[in-house]
Structure 1
Amino acid sequence: MKKNKLLSTALVAVIASAAAFGAQAADKGFYAGAGVGQSFVDEGAYDDEDTAFSVFGGYQFNRYFGLEGGYADFGKLEPRGAGPELEASSVYLTAVGTLPITDKFSAYAKAGIQRWDLDTAIPSVVGNSDDSGTDPTYGLGVQYRFTDHVALRGEYSRFEIEDTDLDLAQLQVRYDF
């Protein structure tokens, strides 16, 4: 809990300092960012949530399209009853379509592929002995740009892991170079 409060305070400080500069979004170029939020799973033997973290980077080709790659750590997910805890993470590559609503506010959708990794195989999936694999990922988000270089994003993504859906809701800070 103390860790979450510290991260939230740091995120608010970054956003507040960025708001002091105000400007318009760049149409193209490289960007990078980080996020914090909650991972959720409610399937099979698992019904849990935990704090999740991500880092990402990409290239914005124009104001409507970009490619983004990243890493997400979903934390530890505990089973409903007996069974092992799962620690999950993912490396992903997505295409991002952006719809500008105003000069500073936009909505976006993303879809792509991800390589997931578990510390142990999911026991509820029949015949599953893998602790890593490749599956689709997709999500929706909104972005508010404080300056030419700094934006705040709210994103909800789904990461498919075998037949299990792992959801991720995050606040992210994006920095454009």
Structure 2
Amino acid sequence: MKKIALTLAALALAAGAHAQIGANSTQPHAYGLLSLGQSRLNVSCDGSLACDKSATGGKAMLGYSFGNGFALEGGYANFGKFRASSGPLSVSGKPEAVVLGGAYTAELTPDWALTGRLGAAYVRTKLHADAGVLSGSDRESKTQPIVGLALNYALTPSTRVELGIDATRAEYQGERTNLRMVSLGARMAF
């Protein structure tokens, strides 16, 4: 976790020194977004002795801003690892997604902006179960809608700190569950 935080800080400093294009500039530009945060799986754990519906997740996105507030984004989101157990039976799930969508950033002030996101996520849910000496794994992938909202603040003309929330769904054998991630990261124009 410390290595990821240091990497984010180094990228933010490097981008600030490298790029002179503002993250909300009226000039078309590319940008990257790296963030880490808390994920939550909305699932019932009735009958489990132990159930962990929270995990550490993160995302890495690349985007292209057309200079009028609209942007096209794509990237990867990992929602972490969720666990439940009851006696000798334990189950873990790892949802992750490849994301493609659009974004619109509205400047609230010269330093503050609000970004809304809407797109499609190809969500792969990996499950692993252990029952004593027996174990097994399976996975299922489905395309799901993904929405997001983020508030960001300009540290430099090219680097912004972003606090956001993203929501999508994971599905396994017809059972859908909502996924939500609140994250903090750095958005760097280049």
TM-score, structure 1 normalization: 0.80
Letter in 1 for 2:118: A
Query: SS at 1:156's partner residue?
Result: strand
Q: Deviations over 1:57-100 (max 9, x none)?
A: 01111242111111011121112645520011100112112111
**Residues 148 and 166 of structure 2 are in contact (CA less than 8 Å); yes or no, is this contact kept in structure 1?**
yes
From the CA coordinates, give the structure whose radius of gyration is larger. 2
What is aligned with 1:164? 177
**1:140 Cα deviation (Å)?**
0.7
- Identity within the alignment, %: 25
Query: SS at 1:51's partner residue?
Result: strand
Matched, 1:31 2:31: yes
Q: Deviations over 1:124-158 (max 9, x none)?
A: xxxxx861111100011111122232111111010
Higher strand fraction: Structure 1 or Structure 2?
Answer: 2
1:1-177 aligned within 5 A: 4-8=1-5, 11=8, 24=22, 25-27=24-26, 28-45=28-45, 48-79=53-84, 81=86, 82-120=89-127, 131-162=140-171, 163-177=176-190
**1:120 Cα deviation (Å)?**
2.7
**Residues 116 and 161 of structure 1 are in contact (CA less than 8 Å); yes or no, is this contact kept in structure 2?**
yes
Letter in 2 for 1:170: S
Over 3 Å counting, the alpha-carbon distance change for 1:76 and 1:145 in structure 2 is same
TM-score, structure 2 normalization: 0.75
Query: SS at 2:124's partner residue?
Result: strand
**Residues 152 and 160 of structure 2 are in contact (CA less than 8 Å); yes or no, is this contact kept in structure 1?**
yes
Structure 1 range deviating more: 42-51 or 32-41: 42-51
Unaligned runs of 5+ in 2: 46-50, 129-137
Letter in 2 for 1:147: T
- RMSD of aligned residue pairs (Cα, Å): 2.8
Unaligned runs of 5+ in 1: 122-128
